[in-house]
Amino acid sequence: MVATKAMKHHRLLKLIGLIAGLTALVIVGLQAPTWIAYAQGERAAARQRWPEAFERFWGIFDRDPGYRDVAERCAQAARRSIAAIPDDIDLSTQVNLIRMLARLDVREGLTEALDRSLAQVPAGEFPMGSDDTRSDERPRHMVSLDAFEIDRFEVVNAQYQRFLQATGRQGPRYWSGDEYPAGQSEYPVVGISWSDAEAYCAWAGRRLPTEAEWEKACRGTDGRLYPWGEEWDSRQANVGQSPLEPSGDFIDALWPLLLSPPSGPEAFGLRPVGGYPDGASPYGVMDLVGNVSEWVADRYNWEGYQDLPAANPLNQEPPWNWSVRGSSWFNRPGPVDEVAEGSRCSARNSSHSSDDPRVGFRCARSLQ
């Protein structure tokens, strides 16, 4: 009887040990993906494969920012990855890098990453304009451009802040001095004049793109209607329609909307750059439709392209009315096809406002 009790006790202990072991295995199994991702990040860092290391650490940080020293490791890999932009780091990783740097408020790293992110557009012809829509887009014709580079992303608040601090220029009206609204470092800057945009690009060693350059960067050489193809798809861009018609002064009614970022994927308002990867152009340029309309180098005319040269055109008359390209985050209530029409790569518009909350810009530079 004593032996039997001892054996039973021994078996009970073994059972308890087995249950404890299985429980530990379950816990390990649940945590293993994070441990594995961290180890993979460490191995990539040891081999100086920094974009890969960043992606591993970022995946952990995005789920669990307090895990071990992942924030520090992610930031280190991000700093090293910046040097790989644009040649050795894909567009998806660039967007993740921008998000992480903004989330950690690493402004110097964020601005450097964005400064380095340019898309190359080779020299050659492309079909500009349209014969099927407004007269200011006619005629559809072949235009030859020299090679150039253009910012993949619209110029953001953190980049523009650096410019203001270096030059002493005045910030947009929704800023507090030279401080943009909290949490909006990677949002496109808006409400600046054409002269401000031109001055920023010159300060950065670049220039505003011409209308022709902007359109080629948008539609490529196949003459597509939208950056992503021939069919309109509002899911590829931030082109929400306002639920309400602003009352009173139209521009003044929009400014408060810039101080509170959208709270969800369907919410209405301005958004961080690069949020619609499937809407990228053939050259990997982001947000050419939606988010903000963009200042370009040309003055706007009403007559179309009849009198402009077919090589590297730049319209300079009239001097008071500047061209803008691309649709914006704000669209008044109305037919959806009006938004689609204004979002075509060939669509033209103009402004002589100095503080329109729908208008921002991006820069370009010649390669010859």
Q: Are 289 and 235 in contact (CB under 8 A)?
A: no
Shortest CA distance to 54 belongs to which of 27, 12, 26, 85?
85
Mean pLDDT computed over every residue of the chain: 87
Say if 2 falls within a structural domain.
Answer: no
21 has a pLDDT exceeding 70: no
Phi/psi region, residue 41 (left: phi>0; alpha: psi -120 to 50; beta: rest), is: alpha
Taking residues 325-330, what's their average pLDDT?
Answer: 94
Query: H helices within the chain, ranges in order?
Result: 2-46, 50-63, 70-82, 91-103, 107-116, 157-167, 194-203, 211-219, 250-254, 336-342
Banded model confidence at residue 337, pLDDT cuts 50, 70, 90: confident
Q: Which token pair is 76?
A: 């280190």
User: The domain containing residue 279 runs over which residues?
Assistant: 142-368
253 & 182 share domain: yes
pLDDT tens digits, one per residue of 283-315: 999 999 999 999 999 999 888 998 899 999 999
- Can you give the CATH number for the domain in which 38 is found? 1.25.40
212 has a pLDDT exceeding 50: yes
102 & 60 share domain: yes
φ, ψ of residue 55 to 5 degrees: the values are -60, -40
Residue 58: its pLDDT value, please?
86
Banded model confidence at residue 30, pLDDT cuts 50, 70, 90: very low
DSSP 119-142: EEE-SEEEEES-SSS-GGGPSPEE
The number of distinct structural domains making up the chain is 2
Q: Are 290 and 278 in contact (CB under 8 A)?
A: no
233 & 163 share domain: yes
* H helix or E strand, kind and range, residue 366: strand 364-366
Q: Which token pair is 300?
A: 């706007």
Q: How many helices (H) and strands (E) does the chain have?
A: 10, 9
Banded model confidence at residue 4, pLDDT cuts 50, 70, 90: low
Residue 22: its pLDDT value, please?
38
196 & 65 share domain: no
Q: Letter for the amino acid at 353?
A: S
> Counting every residue, how long is the chain?
368
- Tell me which range, 71-75, 201-205, 266-270, 314-318, is most confidently predicted by mean pLDDT: 201-205
Residue 328: its pLDDT value, please?
94
Say if 159 falls within a structural domain.
Answer: yes
pLDDT tens digits, one per residue of 87-135: 888 899 899 899 989 988 889 999 999 999 999 999 999 999 999 888 9
Give the pTM: 0.86
Say if 12 falls within a structural domain.
Answer: no
Say if 6 falls within a structural domain.
Answer: no
212 & 340 share domain: yes
Q: Letter for the amino acid at 223?
A: G
pLDDT tens digits, one per residue of 260-291: 777 666 677 899 999 999 999 999 999 999 99
- Can you give the CATH number for the domain in which 311 is found? 3.90.1580.10
Q: Are 160 and 192 in contact (CB under 8 A)?
A: yes
Calpha distance 208→366 (Å, rounded)? 11
Q: Which of 44-53, 245-254, 326-335 has the lowest mean pLDDT?
A: 245-254
Burial class (CB in 10 A: 0-12, 13-18, 19+), 28: exposed
Say if 132 falls within a structural domain.
Answer: no
Say if 176 falls within a structural domain.
Answer: yes
346 has a pLDDT exceeding 90: yes
| Final residue in a domain of this structure, among 117, 134, 150 | 117
Taking residues 10-29, what's their average pLDDT?
Answer: 43
Shortest CA distance to 183 belongs to which of 124, 261, 125?
261
59 & 157 share domain: no
The percentage of the chain sitting over the pLDDT mark of 90, rounded to a whole number, equals 62
